[in-house]
Amino acid sequence: MIRHFIDLWDITPEEGWKLVLDAEAIKLSKDKEKHLLGKKVGLFFTKPSTRTRVSFEVAIVELGGHSVYLSEQSLQISRGEDIKDTARTLSRYLDCVVIRTDSHKKLEEYAKHSSVPVINALTDMSHPCQVLSDVFTLYETFKEDIKRIKIAYVGDGNNVCNTWLVAAGLFGLNLFVATPAGYEPSSYYYQAGEDLCKITGGSIYLTTNPVEAVKDAHVVYTDVWVSMNQERTEEKIQALMPYQVNEKLLSYARSDVKVMHCLPAKKGEEITEEVFERFADFIFTQAENRLHTQKALLKFLL
């Protein structure tokens, strides 16, 4: 049976932890096998990407496979060819397709008609590769304590935030989310996270108070206030201003707090330059880990 990776709930908690441990083994060069020998992976992107695209391309080549980059403009889909016909065609050439698109529904439609695994490389609703990798980064830092630490997500209730809700459930983590009223994460992803928490012992707490979320936190996570393809309004920026990760907000967290950002960052908005630079080493380790985690994911799916 083919497996897709559209959302984090497509894997079980056991599989999630196995992927994290595999990512660690790969990073430490304990697993150097060419798991993708002879495999062809398509990278179908309708939006820009620095980390996701490059880390997938490098992961594929280092695992002995071959990647084909497919921008939307270069495909007949841009002239109206059906998604399902594109999926059925590409399934005849490729062993796996990694897709970044503005519409989660389109990704689901593609996956329904694909006979090879489809990996979500970001949609308007979720970014599972990012958050799976972020859990690995936290595991690397906190090991077994990962289930005891307080993780705070502060800012816009976007695709990354939605995925964190599911990650808290899947991995049994303690997540506090602070977003302004009107910019909350999706209730569907929240429910999925809550349902998983009942199995794994994780917890999710939603608030509009950033100080409450950050208080005594071990980890503070943020992301841009205006995601790709979203409209930038002054109203949204003003609503999010109290959620900026700056030294004042961080003063409520533990003194050894770690700050995470999936990148790209818009300094002066969701994070100050000062805070960003103080945690830059950790943030770029977070970016590096996309490579190791996606190798583990490709090995698992193929």
Report DSSP state, residue 77. G
State yes or no: residue 103 binds ligand NVA (CB under 6 A). Answer: no
Tally of CB atoms within 10 A around 159 = 26
Q: Which of 91, 133, 159, 272 binds ligand NVA (CB under 6 A)?
A: 159
Q: Which of 86, 158, 163, 186 binds ligand NVA (CB under 6 A)?
A: 158
Residue 261 DSSP SS3: strand
Stretch of 64-72, 140-148, 193-201, 219-227 lying at the interface with ligand NVA (CB under 6 A): 219-227
Stretch of 1-9, 140-148, 156-164, 213-221 lying at the interface with ligand NVA (CB under 6 A): 156-164
Stretch of 25-33, 35-43, 144-152, 257-265 lying at the interface with ligand CP (CB under 6 A): 257-265
Phi/psi zone of residue 122: left (φ > 0), alpha (ψ -120 to 50 degrees), beta?
A: left
Residues assigned a catalytic role: 100, 127, 130, 223, 262, 290
Q: Which of 12, 50, 78, 187 binds ligand CP (CB under 6 A)?
A: 50
CA gap 192, 27 in Å, rounded: 30
Stretch of 43-51, 136-144, 204-212, 273-281 lying at the interface with ligand CP (CB under 6 A): 43-51
Residue 208 DSSP SS3: coil
Nearer to ligand NVA, 225 or 299 (CB): 225
The answer to whether residues 104 and 98 touch, using CB atoms and an 8 Å cutoff, is: no
Q: Which of 59, 94, 121, 160 binds ligand NVA (CB under 6 A)?
A: 160
Q: Which of 89, 200, 227, 285 binds ligand NVA (CB under 6 A)?
A: 227
Structure-token match 């490389």, residue found:
121
Element (DSSP H or E) covering residue 56:
helix 51-62
CB-count exposure of residue 113 (10 Å: 0-12, 13-18, 19+):
middle
Q: Residues 261-300 vs ligand CP: string with x where CB under 6 A?
A: -xxx------------------------------------
Nearer to ligand CP, 27 or 150 (CB): 27
Q: Can you give the three-state secondary structure of 217-281, one letter per residue?
A: CCEEEECCCCCCCCCCCHHHHHHHHHHCECHHHHCCCCCCCEEEECCCCCECCCECHHHHHHCHH
CA gap 81, 85 in Å, rounded: 7
Q: Which of 4, 27, 51, 295 binds ligand CP (CB under 6 A)?
A: 51
Which residues contact ligand NVA (rule: CB under 6 A)? 122, 158-160, 223-224, 227-228, 262
